[in-house]
Chains A and B, each alone.
Chain A
């Protein structure tokens, strides 16, 4: 039934898969890898922001925590990189339990402040625990072990990493479309009513937080393996901010929109860096401000709204059908 639903929207699915497969042919492969990592990270953040109504400003802790953990496993244990990434994701999920447990006690903007503060704590720990994390030098020369197969070419490594991202995206989509995901949306829209209906709201939020952290962990782990190092930048608050920025640019609550945002922002950063412009915050900050002020639906959200508007104009007599589709299109 799940697969049939997925197959029910063949055009989008095909376009998405073809794009994902063709990406390293179209752009520089390491950038393509960055894009898919950030795309999953953004989807994980959107799972909370768009579908649970929780703005986490501390997801760098899970992305970066997993980057370090994945790197440490790869360096010291030397297992094939998929296992290292799974280990990193598991670490991110475990780290999310205490942070989420404390943070879900607060609402709205306080949730953002508390997650931000805890992520900064993780940053300080990574900074001070030099013997393990390498401090300011970062964790260097993380191997790409995979049963002796040579994956040093980023072009090939892209295809080795892509299944993780696609699996992560599928899981995110599956969560959103499940009964559990519906409860999350009801918590987002009306927490008191969800509580009155007997749902343990805090526990649902915590589970969503942990799942989101695990997905961020998969993305962060793959990012560390693909770069060959994990740096303090990965746990810094600007990383959390960048993920949120991608989600808002793509469209909050669209799940796939984050991938569009990721593609644009990663390429923009790369372009600025090549042009020798170090202070990317001036450009990305301005874009962010403009989106927040004028364009709050984001790219994907605007496209959806336009399509929905066209459909209703075309078939005004079949009002019930487009509405249902609009709900489906949301996920």
Chain B
């Protein structure tokens, strides 16, 4: 039981990291990034390619891959997304959908649909004794890192000047601009940061999840449900819902295996029925 809950926390760590990037991007740009799952997949493949072709290990891939993907995100924002942001948000959704199709099939063309092996870093290959049960060290590491990153983003957003600007531009872009802050300047780095977070989650996933071209597409739809549950436009809500959905799904899977994949959507339906704006969402976000 406790162990199931812990499994749930670990998968929740991935939901949380992805939901965090998604909602930070959404807050700043009003863009729902369908390609977020594709970037997560690219993160895992980036780590795999680095190890397979260049012998670069996990510890270097962990900062390097997100950096590269973040740069790609910056370029994408500058070249394309920027041109569509003033239009109806659905165009950016469709644009990133097309992008996701391309990225996914490009990788599929190169590596096929089979999963690629990625070994755990040797330092984390053992198990850790967590008093009530022992647990693979790598999973504990993933959970700790994810909590750390989410916490760090939270601190940056609430306690620093940069975070203040980002939050202000998210809530009242016009007013922030009137106060003499160049809102447009922050849009590109925020998008790049969100994409880098997806890549980071992808590298973390490589040693414990199957590395294949479809790993991101199915995950991102669950993350959409997580974001809806957590609250539309709420960064804290997305992260909290990420972990919560992870735990609830794992426990649900344990007690009612038939519901293992659908439980998150049932949760979403319940939340929509009870609080359409999500658990931590602001009312204005939905109407």
Of B67-75, B116-124, B142-150, B266-274, which binds chain A? B266-274
Residues of chain B from 69 to 118 with CB closer than 8 A to chain A in the complex:
80, 83-84, 87-91, 93-95, 97-102, 104-106, 108-109
Q: Are A117 and B224 in contact (CB under 8 A)?
A: yes
Residues of chain B from 245 to 287 with CB closer than 8 A to chain A in the complex:
258, 261-262, 265-266, 268-269, 272-273, 276, 286-287
Q: Which residues of A contact B258 (CB under 8 A)?
A: 128
Q: A193 at interface (Cβ–Cβ under 8 A)? A: no
Q: Which residues of A contact B269 (CB under 8 A)?
A: 98, 102, 118
In the assembled complex, the CB of B145 is this many whole angstroms from the nearest CB of chain A, namely 27
Interface size on A, residues (CB 8 A): 43
| Among B104, B106, B228, B287, contact of A117 (Cβ-Cβ < 8 Å) | B228
Q: Are A105 and B286 in contact (CB under 8 A)?
A: yes
Q: Which residues of B contact A292 (CB under 8 A)?
A: 84, 91, 94-95, 98
Indicate the member of A57, A127, A292 with the most B CB atoms within 10 Å.
Answer: A292
Q: State A237–B217 Cα separation when bound (angstroms).
A: 9
Q: Is the interface of B mostly helix, strand, loop or mixed?
A: helix
| Among B84, B109, B268, contact of A282 (Cβ-Cβ < 8 Å) | B109
Q: Are A284 and B221 in contact (CB under 8 A)?
A: no
Q: Are B94 and A109 in contact (CB under 8 A)?
A: no
Q: Which residues of B contact A279 (CB under 8 A)?
A: 105-106, 108-109
In the assembled complex, the CB of A166 is this many whole angstroms from the nearest CB of chain B, namely 29
Q: State A127–B217 Cα separation when bound (angstroms).
A: 16
Q: Is the interface of A mostly helix, strand, loop or mixed?
A: helix
Q: Which residues of B contact A120 (CB under 8 A)?
A: 218, 221-222, 265
Beyond A285-B100, A289-B102: 6 further Cβ-contacts under 8 Å?
Answer: A98-B269, A237-B221, A238-B101, A281-B108, A285-B99, A288-B97
Q: Which 8 A-B pairs have the closest CB atoms?
A: A285-B101, A281-B105, A288-B98, A279-B105, A281-B101, A121-B265, A285-B102, A124-B261
Chain B residues within 8 Å of A, Cβ to Cβ: 32, 80, 83-84, 87-91, 93-95, 97-102, 104-106, 108-109, 217-218, 221-222, 224-225, 227-228, 232, 258, 261-262, 265-266, 268-269, 272-273, 276, 286-287
Report 15 cross-chain contacts, Cβ distance below 8 Å, ordered by A residue.
A106-B272, A109-B90, A110-B228, A110-B286, A117-B222, A117-B224, A118-B269, A120-B221, A241-B97, A280-B105, A284-B98, A285-B100, A286-B102, A289-B99, A293-B84
